[in-house]
Amino acid sequence: MDKNIPLTEAVFYILLAVRTPNHGYGIIQEVERLTNGRVTLGAGTLYGAIQTLEKKGWIRIYSVDTQSRKKKEYVITAEGREAFEEERTRLEELLRNAGLMTEENEND
């Protein structure tokens, strides 16, 4: 298994939020929407993760709005999609196996 897996929940949702170009505040809002408010990213967590994801090549800057405090939009890269898919596959396996355990307990 890839040494980058498992992803933290924050990284998982950030990658999901930048499947289309998105800026920092938009990422925070999208993560809150996707999780029905359960996950709230602080600015420090978000921008620390963005720096890490850029260094790994999992996201890239899509555009910079020089008229608005240099607001940057980020988008996932092919490498980021691959890491996300590996994690999604891992999570699906966990859920499948949990379902098997639940079935076994019901049959006891």
d(Cα 95, Cα 101) in Å, to the nearest integer?
A: 10
Nearest one of 79, 49, 60 to 21, comparing CA atoms: 60
Residue 108 has pLDDT above 90, yes or no: no
pLDDT digits (tens, 9 = 90+) for 26-36: 999 999 999 99
Residue 101 confidence (pLDDT): 74
Q: What's the pLDDT band for 2 if we cut at 50, 70, 90?
A: low
Residue 1 confidence (pLDDT): 47
Which residues are CB-neighbours of 87 under 8 A, at least 6 positions away?
A: 5, 6, 7, 12
Residues forming beta bridges with residue 74, ordered by sequence position: 22, 61
The three-point CA angle 34-37-43 to 5° equals 90
Residue 5 confidence (pLDDT): 79
Please state, in angstroms and as integers, the Cα–Cα distance from residue 54 to each residue in 17, 33, 38, 57, 62, following that order. Answer: 15, 24, 25, 5, 12
Residue 70 has pLDDT above 50, yes or no: yes
Q: Which CATH architecture has domain 9-107?
A: Orthogonal Bundle (1.10)
Residue 104 has pLDDT above 70, yes or no: no
Residue 50 has pLDDT above 90, yes or no: yes
Mean per-residue pLDDT, 70-76: 91
Q: Return mean pLDDT, the chain.
A: 91
Q: Where are the domains of the chain?
A: 9-107
